């Protein structure tokens, strides 16, 4: 401090300008190359060395590396993507949509009803057979409802299959879902034909 006081006013001014110029030059050089694409590269002294904990910024774009007694430290890097957050609360119910167009007219009342004799053969265990049933009034576009007039044995399941090749023939798929053969009883089945 006494040395500064001993200098002349012009000497102190000259010294202040020199120090200011040096600081400005260093700051300009650092700003020009650091950070490197948003990442600041640095080094800090390793534990157990004279430089322990000392931090300095390095210019990686010019190939500057950490010294043997330093560890690298970069910051302002993008971290890993975090876990997906929980699902948000359900939003309010939206407004009611417009009414759709009117659908086609349904088949209406039965055009024809009656009975037909069905003589189904024995159905092996865990299998199905197809039985043809002739209904004289049946047309190709008819919707058919057919059921036995009596009870079927437990384990027998029946569904109609439409035979497009012959309009008067209705195929019945008769399945046995048990572990033993079943011979369904012969008898009358009631049917109703719906015309669209």
d(CA 9, CA 20): 17
Query: Who wins on pLDDT, 1 or 187?
Result: 187
Return the sign of the alpha-carbon dihedral for residues 147, 153, 157, 161: negative
Mean pLDDT over the full length of the chain: 81
d(CA 163, CA 155): 25
Query: What pTM does this model have?
Result: 0.42
d(CA 44, CA 56): 6
Q: Give the residue-averaged pLDDT of 2-19.
A: 60
Give the per-residue pLDDT at 30. 47
Span 82-123, pLDDT tens digits: 899 999 999 999 999 999 999 887 766 667 889 999 998 999
Q: Is 87 exposed, middle or buried (0-12, 13-18, 19+ CB in 10 A)?
A: exposed
- Given a cut of 80, is residue 151 above it in pLDDT? yes
**Beta pairing, strands 143-148 & 70-75:** unpaired
Query: CA triplet 174, 160, 155: central angle to 5 degrees?
Result: 30
Distance in angstroms between the alpha carbons of the first and the last residue of the chain: 113
Span 44-86, pLDDT tens digits: 999 999 989 899 999 888 889 999 999 998 887 667 788 999 9
Residue among 192, 189, 153, 195 at smallest CA distance from 172: 189
């Amino acid at each position: 401090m006494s040395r500064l006081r001993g200098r002349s006013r012009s000497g102190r001014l000259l010294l202040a300008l020199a120090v200011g110029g040096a600081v400005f030059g260093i700051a300009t050089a650092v700003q020009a190359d650091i950070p490197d694409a948003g990442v600041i590269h640095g080094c800090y002294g390793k534990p157990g060395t004279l430089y322990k904990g000392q931090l300095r910024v390095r210019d990686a774009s010019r190939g500057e590396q950490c010294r043997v007694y330093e560890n690298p430290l970069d910051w302002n890097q993008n971290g890993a993507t975090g876990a997906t957050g929980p699902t948000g609360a359900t939003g309010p119910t939206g407004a009611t949509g417009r009414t759709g167009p009117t659908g086609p007219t349904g088949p209406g009342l039965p055009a024809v009803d009656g009975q037909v004799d069905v003589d189904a053969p024995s159905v092996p265990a865990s299998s199905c057979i197809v039985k043809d049933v002739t209904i004289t009034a049946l047309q190709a576009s008819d919707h058919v409802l057919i059921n036995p007039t009596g009870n079927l044995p437990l384990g027998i399941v029946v569904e109609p299959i439409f035979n497009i090749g012959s309009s008067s023939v209705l195929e019945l798929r008769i399945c046995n879902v048990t572990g033993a053969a079943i011979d369904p009883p012969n008898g009358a089945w009631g049917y109703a034909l719906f015309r669209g």
